[in-house]
Amino acid sequence: MIKKIITLTIILGISISVIGLSLSGLNSEDHNSEVIGNLQNDFIIPPDVVIPMKVSRPGCDVEDICYIPSNIVAEKGDSITWLNEDSSFHSVTSGFYPEPSGLFDSGHLDPYESYTLSFDEYGVYDYFCTLHPWMKAQVVVE
């Protein structure tokens, strides 16, 4: 009888340590995913210009909010990051619709895709969206 109890205790002890090990295994996985999450957060750069929701229909041009802000002032050498927060494709293309000037073109930006460009020359850079003629804005490098 005593022998059986001892055996049971040993088995229980082993099971508990096995459970403990697998739990700590789970914990370290959780920890890893947290670290990855933090790393991703560290890489998210706050956008300078946002392409807001619902600008794929005309109307944002009335209040000049197709790109926010529609006029951004940068210093020479600054980088500007655009973020498409809409559920449609948009672009950041230099020039005026429908004639790209050829200076820069993001191509079609997916929802939540960003585009970063550095401006190394003074000037006024008009840009537009190749998909939506009413979407236009400006970068001024001073």
- For Cu ion, the binding residues (CB under 5 A) are 90, 129, 131-132, 135
Q: Which is nearer to Cu ion, 82 or 119 (CB)?
A: 82
CA–chain centroid gap for 123, Å, is 28
Q: Which is nearer to Cu ion, 117 or 141 (CB)?
A: 117
At its nearest, how many Å lie between Cu ion and the CB of residue 110?
A: 12
Task: Kindly provide the residue ranges of all beta strands, DSSP E only, lying in the chain, ordered along the sequence.
Answer: 49-51, 71-74, 79-84, 93-96, 99-105, 114-118, 123-128, 136-141
Q: Which is nearer to Cu ion, 97 or 103 (CB)?
A: 97
Q: Which is nearer to Cu ion, 80 or 129 (CB)?
A: 129
Contacts (Cβ under 8 Å, ≥6 apart) of 88: 55, 56, 111, 131
At its nearest, how many Å lie between Cu ion and the CB of residue 130?
A: 8
Output the CA torsion sign for 118, 121, 125, 129.
Answer: negative
Contacts (Cβ under 8 Å, ≥6 apart) of 45: 81, 114, 116
At its nearest, how many Å lie between Cu ion and the CB of residue 112?
A: 14
Q: Which is nearer to Cu ion, 49 or 132 (CB)?
A: 132
At its nearest, how many Å lie between Cu ion and the CB of residue 20?
A: 55
At its nearest, how many Å lie between Cu ion and the CB of residue 46?
A: 21
Nearest to 81 by CA among 55, 103, 51: 51
Minimal CB distance residue for Cu ion: 129
